[in-house]
Amino acid sequence: MRQSLLWVPGSPSIVDVDFTSETRPFRVWTVYSHTDPNAPPILPLSPRHNDGFFLEDYTHDWSMISTHQMRYFSRVRDKEEGCWLLLEWKSTDILHTQAQELSVKGALLTAKGEDEEGRHLFREAALLEEKALQEVSTGNSRTRGILGVSLVALLYKGRELDRARSWAERLLKEEGLTERARQQLHDLMFEIDG
């Protein structure tokens, strides 16, 4: 889980933020145990609801207006005083985004004829995607399908055919995998074995 802090001055309902390369935060906590804008809490933090932190509700207490603005309202802070917010992102979102960025770079290198360099980036991207996939429970079949298809495709592009085949077979045995993911994995198996 990635964490960052944001100081919110007293009374605003709209807060300027900079999440240009991030998805929206997974959780937002009001840190009511630290009220000095010049003394932020030290990361990483292990927040517990009602123990120095208050877990804010998405849509009711906060929401993203744009990639640069967040609406924030909390019942646990004094409106005239500022407060620190602890923002948390799921590591799976971050890993998947990084994997996709490496994949694009790998494709560009391959298109320029730099095949080995491109394959290396595909393998690096596959490692990130594999970490992301391992963090997602089997109950979340849609996300596992998306990450799994991406992982198998990256391994194929990186020419790690045995690992690609092994992951495809493993994923196809999972209950609840979407029909689309199953079809994409079968298509990739055909390419791998072809």
Mean pLDDT of each 10-residue bin along the chain, 194 residues long: 84 69 78 90 94 92 83 77 86 84 95 96 95 87 93 97 97 92 96 91
Q: Are residues 188 and 140 in the same domain?
A: yes
**Cβ–Cβ contacts within 10 Å for residue 127, how many?**
16
Question: Which of 58, 74, 89 is the last residue before a domain boundary?
Answer: 89
Question: Which of 89, 105, 121 is the last residue before a domain boundary?
Answer: 89
Q: What is the pTM (predicted TM-score) of this model?
A: 0.62
pLDDT computed for residue 115 by the predictor: 96
Question: Which of 30, 61, 89 is the last residue before a domain boundary?
Answer: 89
Q: Are residues 82 and 147 in the same domain?
A: no
> For residue 60, how far is the Cα from the chain centroid?
23
- Let me know: does 82 contact 9? Beta carbons within 8 Å: yes
Q: Are residues 122 and 169 in the same domain?
A: yes
Q: Are residues 105 and 167 in the same domain?
A: yes
Q: Are residues 23 and 61 in the same domain?
A: yes
Q: Are residues 39 and 66 in the same domain?
A: yes
The residues facing 7 across adjacent strands are 84
Q: Are residues 96 and 84 in the same domain?
A: no
Q: Are residues 130 and 182 in the same domain?
A: yes
What would the two tokens of residue 161 be?
């055919």
Residue 122 sits in a domain whose CATH number is: 1.25.40
Give the number of domains in the chain: 2
Q: Are residues 75 and 111 in the same domain?
A: no
pLDDT computed for residue 11 by the predictor: 67
Q: Are residues 173 and 100 in the same domain?
A: yes
Separation CA 158–CA 130 (nearest Å): 14
The residues facing 31 across adjacent strands are 53, 84
DSSP structure string for 33-98: T---TTSPPPSS----BTTTEEEEPBTTTEEEEETTEEEE--SSS-TTS-EEEEEEE-HHHHHHHH
Q: Is 29 helix (H, G, I), strand (E, B) or coil?
A: strand
Domain membership of residue 163 as a residue range: 92-193
Q: Are residues 82 and 104 in the same domain?
A: no
Separation CA 15–CA 9 (nearest Å): 9
- Spell out a b/e string for 153-164, using b for 16 or more CB atoms within 10 Å of the CB, else e: bbbbbbebeebb
Separation CA 107–CA 154 (nearest Å): 10
Q: Are residues 100 and 19 in the same domain?
A: no
pLDDT computed for residue 12 by the predictor: 60
- Let me know: does 45 contact 3? Beta carbons within 8 Å: yes
pLDDT computed for residue 174 by the predictor: 92
pLDDT computed for residue 33 by the predictor: 84
pLDDT computed for residue 22 by the predictor: 55
